[in-house]
A and B are shown apart, each in its own frame.
Chain A
Amino acid sequence: MNGWTVAATAALAVGVGATVWGVATGPLRRRVVAQNLSTSLACPALLLLSEGYDRPSYVDLALLLALLGPVGTLVFARLLVEDLAADPPRTWGLTYAVAAFGAAVVIAVCVAAGPSRALVKLLVVGALLIGGNLTASRALSGGFAGSRRG
């Protein structure tokens, strides 16, 4: 065990555990937000594990998760647009907190990586993670309903 794996374990147990609970219980507006945040928390956990176990291939998993997680949320947002319009989620505080956690993890692993191609890859993962999270949250909060082009 080192600091990286401890942080990854905490992110998985507290963060992803809480999102699994959120997805499994409560009203729809809570479930979709928890579903969106689950990938936003699992992705930084994978980055921490890649640093902790010194396995760069874990970054590829984080990259895929950062890319496909928001895409999955957008599918839910599109399919549930009528239900969400009636009862939209208002969880920007939680969304920004998770985005800040992702940014902190990306900065930490970037500092550990040092200037290299791996650093640029980590920055791309971080941009996809935070940008995708915010975009998907906006879609859940009525981005589709408010969209002029449908």
Chain B
Amino acid sequence: MNRRTTLLGAAEILAWWAALALLWLVFISAVDALELVVGTSAALVGAFAAWGTRRAVSGW
């Protein structure tokens, strides 16, 4: 990985993280601190998984 692909990958993970965290925020019934901590953590794990899956499928 060179500098450009690293930056692109980081941007993609950030985009996935934002989208998944937003989805979590929409799905929960009550918004409190614990939900936000769990939601952002789970969304970060999901963002890495989505990035890896997308790379495996599209091949770049």
Please report A residues at the B interface, Cβ cutoff 8 Å. 56-57, 60, 63, 117, 120-121, 124
| Chain B residues with CB below 8 A from A57, complex form | 29
Q: How far is the CB of B41 from chain A (nearest CB, A)?
A: 20
B26 interface residue (CB < 8 Å to A): yes
**Nearest residue, chain B, Cβ from A123:** B26
Interchain pairs with CB closer than 8 A, number: 12
Q: Which residues of B contact A120 (CB under 8 A)?
A: 26
A148 → B minimal CB distance (Å): 15
A30 to B27, CA, bound (A): 35
Query: Chain B contact residues: over half helix, strand or loop, or mixed?
Result: helix
Per the CB 8 Å criterion, the residue count for chain B at the interface is 5
Q: Which 7 A-B pairs have the closest CB atoms?
A: A120-B26, A121-B26, A117-B26, A121-B27, A56-B29, A124-B26, A124-B23
Q: Mark B13-24, 1 if CB is under 8 A from A, else 0.
A: 000000000010
A-facing residues in B25-41 (Cβ within 8 Å): 25-27, 29
Q: Closest CB of chain A to B25's CB: distance in Å?
A: 7
Interface pairs (12), CB distance under 8 Å: A56-B29, A57-B29, A60-B27, A63-B27, A117-B25, A117-B26, A120-B26, A121-B26, A121-B27, A124-B23, A124-B26, A124-B27
Least CB separation from B28: chain A residue:
A117
Give Cα A117 to B27, complex, Å.
8
**How long is the Cα–Cα vector from A57 to B27 in the complex, in angstroms?**
10
Whole-angstrom distance between the alpha carbons of A6 and B26 in the complex? 28
